[in-house]
Amino acid sequence: MTALYPVVTDINGIFRGKRLPAQSADKVFKGAMKLPASTLHVDVFGRDALDSGLVLETGDRDGTLKPTGRGPLQLTWAEDDVSLLPCQMYLHEGEISPIDPRAQLEAVVSRLRGAGLTAVCATELEFYLYDLASNGMQPPLIPGTAKRMTAGSLYSIDLLEAFKAFTDDIYTACEAWDVPADAAISESGMGQFEVNLLHTDDAVKAADDAALFKFIVRGVARKHGLGATFMAKPYGEDAGNGFHLHTSMLDQSGTNIFDNGTDLGSPALASAVAGLLRVMSDSTLFFAPHLNSFRRLREGTHAPTTASWGMDNRTAAVRIPAGPGAARRFEHRVSGADANPYLVIASVLAAALEGIEAGATPPAAFTGSSYDQDLPRLPSSWEEALARFEHSDFIEQTFGAAFRRAVVAAKRQEIGTFAEKVTPFELQSYRDEV
């Protein structure tokens, strides 16, 4: 190994850390690797979230990085022998940082364990490939041809075969990193693909896998002269990138509590759904954390716009897939692929648990298209989602006041930055007309 990247995952799901030469790599295993504790709650531009109360007010103290036990993970696509080392952030006092997203998920999993439950999770992630050599974000050239992709081709085997070298390298890296990549499909957008990750009864590992998968895809894409983006809506007229979460619950005997032999599922499943729907708007900032995220949440796009549930219905926020009873589960479909996997899974599991413990009852499942019905609306803008999040008792009780304040500070700072930017389209529309 020539170098090591010890990294933590910030509130936006971005890996941040340092590059250590091989001879210095052992310091992270000895607890001597330092980063400012505020690294966890910088904004998407990498700037301190100054209103978090955790930067200048604390003297911007250092934290200590400690490995999660998942690495080192060799970058199989890189020319030199370098590895990634997933870590978590600890404070001087010895406890893990309350801002660490992975720690937040660990706390929710601990609550589930205390209730005698284990979550089984599987994820689906969509992404776009684009041509790094072109200006802007042009769709990629089809390998072996001089032809640029001009349309999506859902479930195309020809496209999967054309991009075989790319997908083979993805599977090689995933196998080396114990990321359970399963089926890959060509999606409906130009250069859009989806890869499913197999289910696991370790929810923290499921989030680890999703975060690592995104890093793998971007790295392998660069090897092939391509860019890869998990932006929720990189092309306004094309399909968005979703992050779908499938979840069932096992009791202490290993029995799926959502299965009662019926297609609809058990009362426990209904209660979990009720919990999800109750706080879905409060949690939307986790599912749609960026300005671009809300370009995906539009009617008629297969992305949900309402707090709703239905049987095998892909216009619902919560879908109950058809299939054998032993695999009875819900599919949470709100999140974009740009979301932080740790915070998405944590908020979904916490909401489901609250519903189960309360024995809550959901409204009747709808049929048909959710876009044509009078159903509770999800926040339709970044600002609205932030307001719901900031004043949510569920968010504060689940994640803590310090964490909520840090997220709010970072997001409000990002909103302010975007508000100052005038786009070329605005200039084109208004400059000579008004």
Mean pLDDT of 382-399: 98
pLDDT on residue 309: 96
Mean pLDDT of 192-208: 96
* Amino acid at site 129: L
pLDDT on residue 165: 94
Picking from 152-166, 354-368, 373-387, 390-404, which range would have the lowest pLDDT averaged per residue? 152-166
DSSP line for 93-148: TSSBPTT-HHHHHHHHHHHHHHTT-EEEEEEEEEEEEEETTSSS-PPPBPTTSSPB
Q: What is the pLDDT of residues 180-196, one digit of tens each?
A: 999 998 887 888 999 99
- Residue 278 — pLDDT band, cuts 50, 70, 90? very high
pLDDT on residue 305: 94
Phi/psi of residue 96, nearest 5 degrees: -70, 145
The model scores a pTM over 0.85 = yes
The neighbour count for residue 122, using CB atoms within 10 Å, is 21
DSSP 242: B
Q: What is the pLDDT of residues 288-325, one digit of tens each?
A: 999 999 999 998 888 999 999 999 999 999 999 988 88
Q: What is the CATH number of domain 108-399?
A: 3.30.590.10
Give the separation between CA 372 and CA 384, rounded to whole angstroms.
22
- Indicate the angle between helix axes 267-278 and 341-358, nearest 10 degrees: 120
Mean pLDDT of 87-100: 93
Strands 3-9 and 82-90: parallel
- Residue 263 — pLDDT band, cuts 50, 70, 90? confident
- Work out the mean pLDDT of the chain and round it to a whole number: 94
Token duo for residue 270:
């209904």
Q: Which residues of 47-67 are buried (b: 16+ CB within 10 A; e: fewer)?
A: ebbeebebbeeeeeebbbbbb
Phi/psi of residue 70, nearest 5 degrees: -95, -10
Fold of 3-98: Ubiquitin-like (UB roll) (3.10.20)
Give the separation between CA 216 and CA 170, rounded to whole angstroms.
7
pLDDT on residue 53: 80
With CA atoms as reference, report the closest residue to 245 among 331, 163, 134, 180. 331
Give the separation between CA 63 and CA 99, rounded to whole angstroms.
11
Mean pLDDT of 342-354: 98
Q: Which of 45-54, 134-143, 399-408, 424-433 has the highest mean pLDDT?
A: 399-408
- Residue 252 — pLDDT band, cuts 50, 70, 90? very high
Reduced 3-state DSSP string for 260-313: CCCCCCCHHHHHHHHHHHHCCCCCHHHHCCCCCHHHHCCCCCCCCCECCEEECC
Token duo for residue 35:
């980063």
pLDDT on residue 372: 85
- Residue 373 — pLDDT band, cuts 50, 70, 90? confident
pLDDT on residue 249: 98
Mean pLDDT of 205-210: 98
pLDDT on residue 154: 76
More confident residue, 240 or 368: 240
Token duo for residue 102:
């992975």
Q: What is the pLDDT of residues 153-177, one digit of tens each?
A: 777 888 889 899 999 999 999 999 9
Phi/psi of residue 252, nearest 5 degrees: -70, -20
Q: Is the pLDDT of residue 228 over 80?
A: yes
* Amino acid at site 232: A
Q: Which of 46-55, 77-86, 138-147 has the highest mean pLDDT?
A: 77-86
- Residue 414 — pLDDT band, cuts 50, 70, 90? very high
Cβ distance 331 to 319 under 8 Å? yes
The neighbour count for residue 391, using CB atoms within 10 Å, is 12
Q: What percent of the chain has pLDDT over 70?
A: 100
pLDDT on residue 381: 97
Q: Is the pLDDT of residue 329 over 80?
A: yes
Residue ranges of the domains in the chain? 3-98, 108-399
pLDDT on residue 369: 87
pLDDT on residue 55: 77
